[in-house]
Amino acid sequence: MPSLPRIKRTRPRSSDGEVLARPEPRVAELSAHGLTWVHLDTPTAEEATALQERFGWHPLDLEDVLSKRQRPKIDEYTEEGYLFAVLHFPVYDKNVQRLNAAELDTFIGHDYLVTLPAVELLPVTRLFRRCEEDEALRDQLFGKGSGYLLYHALDDLFDYCFPILDKIAHKLDSIEDDIDDERFDEVVRDISKAKQEIISYRKIIKPQRPTLRLLERYVERFLPEQLETYYDDLVDASERIWDLLDNYKEVVEALEDTNESAINHRQNDILRVLTVVSVILLPMTLVTGIFGMNVHFPGFETAAAWWGIVAGMVALAVCLAAFFRYKRWL
In the predicted model, is pLDDT for residue 5 greater than 50?
A: no
pLDDT the model gives residue 25 = 55
- Give percent of the chain above pLDDT 70: 89
The one-letter code for the residue type at 215 is: L
Please, what is the average pLDDT of the chain? 84
Kindly provide the residue ranges of all beta strands, DSSP E only, lying in the chain, ordered along the sequence. Answer: 28-32, 35-39, 73-77, 82-93, 98-109, 112-117
Instruction: Tell me the mean pLDDT in the region 59-88.
Output: 90
Q: Where are the domains of the chain?
A: 28-263, 264-326
Residue-level pLDDT at 155: 93
For residue 89, give every residue at least 6 positions away whose Cβ sits within 8 Å of its Cβ, in sequence order, or none: 101, 102, 104, 121, 157, 160, 161, 204
Decide which of 296 and 145 is more confident.
145
**Angle, helix 230-291 to helix 184-205, in steps of 10 degrees:** 150
Which has the minimum average pLDDT: 129-138, 199-208, 221-230, 247-256? Answer: 221-230
The enclosing H or E element of 208 equals helix 208-218
DSSP 16: T
Reduced to 3 states, what is the DSSP secondary structure of residue 5?
coil
Provide the pLDDT for residue 23: 46
Q: Is 58 helix (H, G, I), strand (E, B) or coil?
A: coil
Q: What is the pLDDT of residue 10?
A: 45
Fold of the CATH domain 264-326: Methane Monooxygenase Hydroxylase; Chain G, domain 1 (1.20.58)
Instruction: Tell me which amino acid residue 314 is.
Output: V
Of 168, 171, 170, 172, nearest in space to 205 by CA: 168
Distance CA 64, CA 72 (A): 11
Q: pTM of the predicted model, to two decimals?
A: 0.75
Rounded CA separation 59/65 (Å)? 10
Report, as an integer, the average pLDDT of 73-95: 89
Beta-sheet pairing, 28-32 with 35-39:
antiparallel
- Check pLDDT > 80 for residue 69: no
Residues forming beta bridges with residue 204, ordered by sequence position: none
Alpha helices in the chain (DSSP H): 45-55, 59-66, 122-133, 135-142, 146-180, 184-205, 208-218, 230-291, 303-326
Look at 103 and 220; give whichever has higher pLDDT: 103
- CATH hierarchy code of domain 28-263: 3.30.460.20
